[in-house]
Structure 1
Amino acid sequence: MTPLPFWQLLLGFVCLLVVGHIVAWWLWRALAFSGPRLGRGITGLAYRRQFLASLQRRAPRTTRVIGARLSVDRFSGLPLTLFVALALYLIVLAAGLLEDLFEGEELVQFDQHVNQALAVLRDPAFLKLVNGITSLANLETLVAITIVSIGFLWAHRRFSYIPGLLLTVIGSQSIAYIGKYAIDRDRPDFLTFASASTPSFPSGHATGAIAVYGFIIYAIARDMPGVRRRFELGYWGCALIASIAASRAILSVHFASDIAAGLLVGGFWLLSGFALTEFLRQRSDLSR
C-alpha cells in the first residue's frame, strides 16, 4: 500500500485534532451543565426520608455503609466509590484482552489487519514526526520528567502529590515490564526504521504516557480556576497521550492490542495515584 503524501497526512492530523477539540468541548459543556443536576437527583433519591427511615429500621449497618459510600462532602465517599468502580472496570477489560490474546485468533488477525492498514501513514517524512512524538515517552524521558515534576511539587509545597506520582509511575512501569516478560509476545515485523528489543505486550510507551502525563495534567488542573482552562489542559494533554500511543502502531513496533493493554495498565495505576493523592489531601485538610 502506497503511503499518502506528507502534507496530506499532516493536514489530516491537524483536522483530527481540531474536530476532536470541538466534539470534546461540546461533551464537556453538556457534562458540566447536566452533571450536577443528575448528581443531585441521585443523591436526593438515595436520601429520601421515607426510604432512608425504612432502611434504617431494617438494616441500620447497611444504611451507614451506603450513606458513607454516597457522601459527596469527602473523598472517601462517592468519589472513592466511583474510582474503585472504574478501576475494577479497567481490570475486567484487561482480563478480557488477555483471554482474547491467549485463546482466540480473532485478536491476532485484527492486530495484523490494523498493522497493514497503517501502511498508508508510513510516509518517510511523516514517520520522522511520529518518531519525535514517540520519543516523548521513552523511559529516559519519562524518568527525567518525573524527577522534574517532583522538584516542582516540592518547591510549591504540594507534598501530598508526590507519593501519588511515585505510586503511579513505579506501579505502572513495574506491571508493564513484568507483563512483557511473563507473556513474552513477539513484536510485529519492523516495517520502518524503528525497532525495539523487549517483548511487545503491553506497550511500555503507552503505559508510561498515560501514567506520567496523566498525573501531571491532574496535578496542574486540580486547583486551576476556570472551566475552559481545565478543559484546554485536559484535551491537549489527552491528545498528546493518544498521539504517543498511536505512534507505536504507526512505527510498527507494537500491535493495537499491546497499546490498548498499556493504556489499561497505566490508567489503573493513574486512578490509584489519584486516590492516594486525594486521601492525603483530605487528611492534610483535616489536620489543619
Structure 2
Amino acid sequence: MNWTVAIVLVILAIVVVLRLIAWWGWRLVSYLFSRLITVISQVRQRDDITALGAKFEARFPRTAGFLHARLTPDRFTGLPLTLVVIAAFYLAALFGGLVEELFEADELVRFDQWLNQQLAPLRTDGVITLFAWITDLGSSATLVAVALVTTGLLWGRSHGYMIAPLWLTLIGSQITTYTGKYVIARPRPEFITEVVALTPSFPSGHATSAMAVYGFIACILATRVAGIRPRFEIIYWAAVLIALVGFSRMLLSVHYVSDVAAGFLVGGFWLLLGFALAEHRRRLIE
C-alpha cells in the first residue's frame, strides 16, 4: 500500500467516525431545540406569565412589541432570525479576535508555522495531486460556476427569490476577504509545492468562498427536505467538502491554519446573512 492510498484511507476513516459522532450530536441538538420551543410555548400560556406580560405591554407597548417580534418561535422572523443574527455577530467577533491575536500574540504565529511543518511528511506527489484537485473546488472560478448553475436551477424551479441572497453571499464574502487580505497584508507560507498564489495570505479566499457558497446551498436544501436524517446528511457532507477545501490550502502550503479559520468565520458570517435574507424573502411570498 503506497503512502497516498494510506492517507486517503485514514481520511475516510476519520470522516466515517466523525459522521457517527455528528449524527448523535445532531439528534441531541434537535431534541434540545424542540424542547426549548415547547418550554417557551408552555411558559407563554401560563396565567401568571400572561398577566405579567399584559401589564408590561400596557406600560411599555413598543418594547413589548419589539421583544415579541424578536422572540416568538412561531415564525422565522422571530426567534430563529434572532438566533441567526446573534450567531453572525458572534462569528464577526471571533474574526476580530483572531485578527487581534495575529498582530499581538506570537503564539498564534508560532503555532501556524509549527503546524505547517508537521504537514510536511504528507506532501508526497500523489497526495499533492489529490489535494490540488480538491482545492480547485474552492477556487473563485469554480464557485462562480456553481453559483451560475444554482441560479439556473433556482430560476427553473420558481425559486427566484433565493438568487439575490445567493449572490450576496458569494460577492459579500469575496469583498470582505480581499479587503482583509490587502489591509492585513500577511505574507504566505513558503511555497513548497507547484501550487502558488499571488494575493496576501489572511484570510483564505478558498475557505471563505467554500463556506459561503456550499454552506448556503446546503442550508437551503436542508430546509426543503423533511426529516432529521436527510437534513443531517446534507449538512454533514457539505461540511466535509468545506473542511477538505480548507485542509487542502494548509497541506499545499499556501495558507496557515489561522488563515483558513478566518476564512471559515468570514464565510460563515455571510452564509448566515444570506440564509436569513432567503428565508425572509420566502416568508414574504408565501
The TM-score range, normalised by the shorter chain, is: over 0.9
Q: Distance in 2 between matches of 1:32 and 1:231?
A: 10
CA RMSD of aligned residues (A): 1.6
Partner of 2:230: 229
Q: Mind listing any 5+ residue stretches in structure 2 that lack a counterpart?
A: none
> Which residue type is aligned with residue 266 of structure 2?
V
Partner of 1:18: 16
Partner of 1:33: 31
Partner of 2:148: 147
Partner of 1:96: 97
Asked whether the equivalents of residues 209 and 241 of structure 1 are also in contact (C-alpha less than 8 Å), the reply is yes
Q: Distance in 1 between matches of 2:272 and 2:111?
A: 29
Partner of 2:85: 84
> What is the deviation of 1:66?
1.4
- 1:280 is aligned to 2:278: no
**What is the TM-score normalised by the length of structure 2?**
0.94
> Alpha-carbon deviations, 1:98-135, whole Å to 9, x = none?
11111221111111111111123222211211111111
Which of the numbers 4, 17, 21 marks the counterpart of 1:6?
4
Asked whether the equivalents of residues 37 and 73 of structure 2 are also in contact (C-alpha less than 8 Å), the reply is no
Partner of 1:189: 190
Asked whether the equivalents of residues 43 and 70 of structure 1 are also in contact (C-alpha less than 8 Å), the reply is no
Q: What percentage of residue pairs aligned between the two structures are identical? A: 48
> What is the deviation of 1:159?
0.9
Partner of 2:121: 120
Q: Secondary structure at the match of 2:191?
A: coil
> What is the deviation of 1:43?
4.3
Alignment of 1:31-70 (within 5 A): 31-45=29-43, 48-70=49-71
> What is the deviation of 1:234?
1.1
- 1:238 is aligned to 2:239: yes
Q: Distance in 2 between matches of 1:195 and 1:46?
A: 58
Q: Distance in 2 between matches of 1:33 and 1:101?
A: 38
Q: Mind listing any 5+ residue stretches in structure 1 that lack a counterpart?
A: none
> Which residue type is aligned with residue 160 of structure 1?
Y
> Alpha-carbon deviations, 1:51-94, whole Å to 9, x = none?
42443354333222211111122222111111110011011101
Asked whether the equivalents of residues 250 and 257 of structure 2 are also in contact (C-alpha less than 8 Å), the reply is yes
Q: Distance in 2 between matches of 1:271 and 1:137?
A: 19
Alignment: residue pair count: 282
